[in-house]
Amino acid sequence: MKLWRAIAGGVCVGVLACAPAARAASAPVALVPFAFAGRIVDYAHIAYDENAAVEVRVKNLSGELLAKTLTQTRGFTSCNYVVTLPVMSRAVAGTAVVGEKVVFEFVDPDGKIYAGLVAEEDAIVGNPGETKTLNIVLASDADKDGVADEYLESIEYWMWQRGIDGPYDAQADYDGDGQSNYAEYIAGTNPCDATDRFSVRQMACEEGIEDYVKLRVPVVQGRSYSVAAADSLAKSVWRLIPFAEDPSKPPESTYLNTGPAEVGYRTIFVKKDGPQHFYKVKVE
């Protein structure tokens, strides 16, 4: 029994009332997990894989580990990691809730720990079942131009050879090959050598496999390559298409991921599905 007192017109009125029985707090409900995924690369933009794995740790603001994973090669995507967080309807130890801020740690193959590489606004748990893309460079970037400071140190000799004084300009084209210095950083080519540039070296149809287009592509270590097609350049509606490295097999790969030491050329085959097509190859 509780005694409730009310003031009405200056008169104190005492009211006896029975308080309802306290309801048991509803039990937390497990929701569909939320995931962060993306591509983790070193200062030279070379992606890590299972042979030189990076451990990804996700913690809450109290320092409790919520989930962790290792980088690995994934043939159907350019991502080399996916870390999945268990999500509950309300706070429960070891799980996350929608809207919660988390923190990331990345441990490279040498055991060095990187923290603070993910901005607070990007490290928020989203709706159950969603995946948020986070691409990470395990390096410093003092001027925030998207190019690692350690990479700039590695190309100082190339710049010196061409008589180029600093500071490095990511948007310039030092070798005049039509590709910006930043594009060459992503592609893994030499920004001071016009003969070293990313381009499709061969596109042809061969006898016996007329239903396919053969593409010969220069590949660089730790990159990911994909092919897009369009029916018209005027509309510029590009769609990602699967390809095969063996024309005797149906196209099933979407991304060609190279290993940390791979350099050279790779040949892929894309299947025609119309009278006219335009193709482009993307590197990341």
Distance CA 279, CA 268 (A): 12
Residue 208 pLDDT level (bands cut at 50, 70, 90): confident
β-bridge pairing 136-137 and 40-41: parallel
How many C-beta neighbours within 10 Å does residue 181 have? 20
- pLDDT above 90 for 255: yes
In this prediction the pTM is: 0.84
Other beta carbons within 10 angstroms of residue 186's beta carbon come to 18
Q: Look at residue 3 and tell me whether its pLDDT is greater than 90.
A: no
- pLDDT tens per residue across span 100-113: 999 999 999 999 99
pLDDT tier, 25 (very low <50, low <70, confident <90, very high otherwise):
low
Domain ranges (residues) in the chain: 30-137, 141-197, 202-283
pLDDT of residue 225: 96
Average pLDDT over residues 35-39: 98
pLDDT digits (tens, 9 = 90+) for 145-193: 899 999 999 999 999 988 988 889 999 999 999 999 999 999 999 999 9
CATH number of the 30-137 domain? 2.60.40
